[in-house]
Amino acid sequence: MQNLTIEIGFDRFPPEHTCDGEDISPAIRVRGSDAPYLAVIVDDPDAPRGTFTHWLAWNVPATGEIPGGISPEPRVSHPVPAVQGTNDFQRIGYGGPCPPKGASHRFFIRVWGLEQELDLPPGAGRSRLEGALAAAATGYGEAMAIYERKKYPVSGPRPDTGLEAPGAPATFFITLRRKPPHDPWSCRTGRLPPFGGISRMEHLRRPRSLSRTEDPGTHP
| pLDDT tens track for 123-155 | 999 999 999 999 999 999 999 999 999 876 544
* N-term to C-term CA, the chain: 126
**For residue 191, what pLDDT is reported?**
54
Let me know: does 137 contact 114? Beta carbons within 8 Å: yes
29 CB contacts (<8 Å, ≥6 apart)? 6, 7, 8, 9, 64, 65
- Decide if 51 is inside a domain: yes
The yes-or-no verdict on residue 40 having pLDDT over 50 is yes
Q: Going by DSSP bridges, is the β-strand pair 137-148/2-3 parallel, antiparallel, or unpaired?
A: parallel
Task: Write the pLDDT tens digit of every residue in 189-203.
Answer: 555 555 455 545 554
Nearest CA to 25 among 34, 37, 38, 13? 13
Let me know: does 200 contact 193? Beta carbons within 8 Å: yes
DSSP state at residue 196: H
**For residue 160, what pLDDT is reported?**
42
144: helix, coil or strand?
Answer: strand
- Decide if 191 is inside a domain: no
- Decide if 139 is inside a domain: yes
Let me know: does 159 contact 152? Beta carbons within 8 Å: yes
Nearest CA to 84 among 49, 115, 124? 124
- Decide if 30 is inside a domain: yes
Q: How many domains does the chain have?
A: 1
Nearest CA to 111 among 162, 42, 19? 42
**For residue 150, what pLDDT is reported?**
83
Stretch 78-103: mean pLDDT: 97
Nearest CA to 37 among 127, 103, 104, 132? 132
CATH number of the domain that residue 85 is part of: 3.90.280.10
- Decide if 216 is inside a domain: no
Structural domain for 72, as ranges: 2-148
- Decide if 129 is inside a domain: yes
DSSP state at residue 141: E
The yes-or-no verdict on residue 204 having pLDDT over 70 is no
User: Hey, which residues does 10 pair with through a beta bridge?
Assistant: none
| H/E run at residue 184 | helix 184-189
Q: Give the residue with greater pLDDT, 31 vs 170.
A: 31
217 CB contacts (<8 Å, ≥6 apart)? none
- How many Å apart are CA 181 and CA 174, to the nearest integer? 22
**What value does the mean pLDDT of the chain take?**
81
Instruction: State phi, psi for 113 to the nearest 5 degrees.
Output: -85, 140
- Decide if 205 is inside a domain: no
- Decide if 215 is inside a domain: no
